[in-house]
Amino acid sequence: MTRLTLAIDAMGGDFGPCVTVPAALQALESNPSLYLLLVGYPDTLSSLVAKADSALVARLQIIPAESVIANDAKPALAIRNSRHSSMRIALELVKEGKAQACISAGNTGALMGLAKLLLKPLDGIDRPALMTVLPHQQKGKTVVLDLGANVESDSAMLVQFAVMGAVMAESVLGIARPRVALLNIGQEETKGLETIREAAKILRDTPEINYIGYVEGNDLLTGKTDVLVCDGFVGNVTLKTMEGVVRMFLSLLKSSGDGQKSVWWVKWLGRLLQKRLAKRFGHLNPDQYNGACLLGLRGTVIKSHGAANLRAFAVAIEQAEQAVQRQVSQQIALRLEAVLPKSD
């Protein structure tokens, strides 16, 4: 196994080191070829690492940072004042080749801005896109992008997202000739926004992409497509809507056993059944697919939910490992060369 080094913005997210450090230790435990650079306040990180197994600590290095970008800071201002911040240093480690990917649960806008500034977009990419992999009902997975890296997208950007999503589905999910669809409000060609119709036209004429047409919101989890492309505003609202509904169901399931007037063995059986149901729905739990990948850059950057818990942040680290091992960034660069119009 080749050595894999990742940089973690250990201060980012709602819970900071309380979540990132234990998640980092867990990741080290489950992958013996993993090395981690934890960027943050040395004292805080040292004390959290102190009690860990020394064999794990040997594969971990603390990189000092002097400041943390606040979750609610305005991205433009935060980027201007980002020198010596944990997020920026983590990204610089990737830029300098000292780490192969960076993971942060910090300020999304700042992370995307800094990543673009430091790592630069690939040739043929106007703007990077946030991508995630959703589990669907057919037990497979769907690549969805953009989730909010950009507020508005023109048709050329949607096509670039389609190319990046297709590469992701092929190289990470192992799907041959992945089906690519555009998210729209109807299935007829004449439906929806002008930019989407234009992108559809280009994709239909791109033989390298297995474009299957429009898909509607209700098919987000049905497995009708392997790659679902939309602009960042719609993607963000859609994914958050889905997460809100899933979380509500899971919490209702969890609470539905309480407070009933039954004898003990009925209650016990009830809980048993609920556990089984929760397990069945569990793969739709946002904690289990945390980690959006910022695609289209000369380097790998994973954005974790700000509110990620230990389990969720560990999933984000796993995503980074996979993206590096499958060489997603390099694969995208190759595919772009083949598909996109040459500028010269």
Interface residues with a copy of itself (CB under 8 A)?
A: 72, 74, 137, 148, 151-152, 183, 185, 188, 190, 192-193, 216-222, 230, 232-234, 236-249, 252-253, 256, 266, 269-270, 273-274, 276-277, 280-281
Least Å distance between CB 225 and a copy of itself?
A: 13
Residue placing its CB nearer to a copy of itself in the complex, 121 or 306: 306
Least Å distance between CB 236 and a copy of itself?
A: 4
Least Å distance between CB 316 and a copy of itself?
A: 18
Residue placing its CB nearer to a copy of itself in the complex, 256 or 288: 256
Distance CA 140, CA 120 (A): 32
Residue 227 DSSP one-character state: E
Residue placing its CB nearer to a copy of itself in the complex, 57 or 278: 278
DSSP per residue, 100-146: SEEEE-S-HHHHHHHHHHHH-BPTT-SS-EEEEEEE-TTS-EEEEE-
Residue 64 DSSP one-character state: E
Least Å distance between CB 129 and a copy of itself?
A: 14
Which residue, among 165, 125, 99, has the nearest Cα to 301 in the 3D structure?
99
Residue placing its CB nearer to a copy of itself in the complex, 201 or 240: 240
Residue placing its CB nearer to a copy of itself in the complex, 32 or 244: 244
Distance CA 227, CA 212 (A): 10
Sign of CA pseudo-dihedral 187, 188, 193, 196: positive
Torsion on CA atoms 236, 238, 244, 249, rounded to nearest 10: -150
Residue placing its CB nearer to a copy of itself in the complex, 54 or 190: 190
Least Å distance between CB 255 and a copy of itself?
A: 9
Least Å distance between CB 145 and a copy of itself?
A: 15
Rounded (5°) CA angle 257-262-266: 70
Which residue, among 2, 1, 3, 13, has the nearest Cα to 316 in the 3D structure?
13
Residue placing its CB nearer to a copy of itself in the complex, 218 or 343: 218
Least Å distance between CB 183 and a copy of itself?
A: 6
Distance CA 302, CA 91 (A): 11
